[in-house]
Structure 1
Amino acid sequence: MERQDISRIAHRDHPIAAPLSDEAVRELLERLLRGRSDGRLLDLGCGEAPWLLRALAAHPALRAVGVDPDPAALRTALHTAQRLGVARRIGLHHRDAREFTTAEPFDAVLCVGATRALGGPGPALAAIGPLLAPGGAVLLGAPYRTGEPSQQARESFGAELTDLADLTDLADLAGTVAAVRAAGWLPVAAHTSTRAELDAYAWARTGSLADWALDQPPGPDREAALRAADAHREQWLAGHRDGFGFVALVLRRNPA
């Protein structure tokens, strides 16, 4: 089973591929789109595009573009957009977020879950900058370290599930914000995931994989899903639960 397949199954029972509640997602989108709800919204690493689809459903004048390397996720996003009646206002691009360019800048940009793939907060913002119109805003979602990682956490953070690879080099929350400031951006709003949000996300991922696997006939895919669920559950309970957090920052350029 491909890593993207495992990730897609793992996220099927959680509304967003990040440790954020429905209310947090709603509030963050509203803050990001304040004064921009009739403009253009970009999501780098959109997956099945839940952020974009929610935004389009809430703002009839908004247009959106999603970029992701997983064609199956984009197909699901298109089907959902058609079902919601917003397909004419969304464009979906099958490519690496690092390769995306545009002739018409966006009023707002989402990068939640793809920060690590872009090299961390600073490099991610450097890539986003040319895509953003003057006065625009960015919603950046990033993991951070809350304590000294255990030896088990140092060895692996369940890359099969999270697509985040090794997280043991992460900064803490203060360091993460400092990196954003050093890149020339100012936080204008933020949400730090609660223990309940982090737990709900972890249990949803492992539970979704186990539930899916138990409905499959014996074979390699079933075994791969069960192994991934077991590995992440053990890693989460043995050290990751107390070692990592997640922050979503609404950012604007610092003109200074």
Structure 2
Amino acid sequence: MLSGRPPSTQLGIDQLLDRLVSGSSRQKRSTASALEKVSEQLSGKADVALKAYSPEGDDWGAGWILQILQRHHPETLDAIPGVSGGWFQMPSSCGIDYSDLQRALLKEEFEEADRLTSCALRQLAGEQAVERGYVYFSEVPSIKPVDLTTIDRLWIAYSQGRFGFTVQSRLLGALGGRYDRLWPKIGWKNDGVWTRYPGSFQWCMDAPEGHMPLVNQLRGVRLMDALLQHPGLASRS
């Protein structure tokens, strides 16, 4: 049965931008690909297009517009107010600057973004976590919600809604809370010997949903469980 609406590939730039804002989840996905094909036209409308989104939110439509420009017309980003310092707002309860994280995600440098995320979590957990080089699950409850929310928002905004702690939490809930079912779902490999990066890890937008950021499970699932149940994330799941 025909819907009566033209496919995304036949829509004009204004229609594509409107669908990216107000379309269904499925429509937004198909629109994302079509919008990249008209990146030249998008470069002349980006500033206006971004006004449909809130820098305080995590709508990946805004993140995708910025990523298309970064891919094809990076010179136009300099002309958009606020982009140089990070278009999405990045509040922190303890003065951490998340600009490098936002910049890495914008450029789709996901391995660097994962490293910066781990570094930020150690800072948030306290001096002892920084000194030892990793976070104990028992240190997670003391982390301020606003920072975890900021980190999660940035991952979601620059991954078409595919990556982030709350994405992992949603998938885990759909699998009955079973981590042994979550690992293959998000493309993590647990062969009994965990390293910092599981085998076959992918640092790209095409990675499985929930693939990033990585949480080391060397000491079991308690760290990831503590993160996903943290009030700053649980309220967003």
Same fold (TM over 0.5): no
Higher relative contact order (CA 8 A, sep 6+): 1
Larger strand percent: 1
Report the structure number with the largest CA radius of gyration.
2
- Quickly name the TM-score band, shorter chain normalised: under 0.3
TM-score (norm 1): 0.25
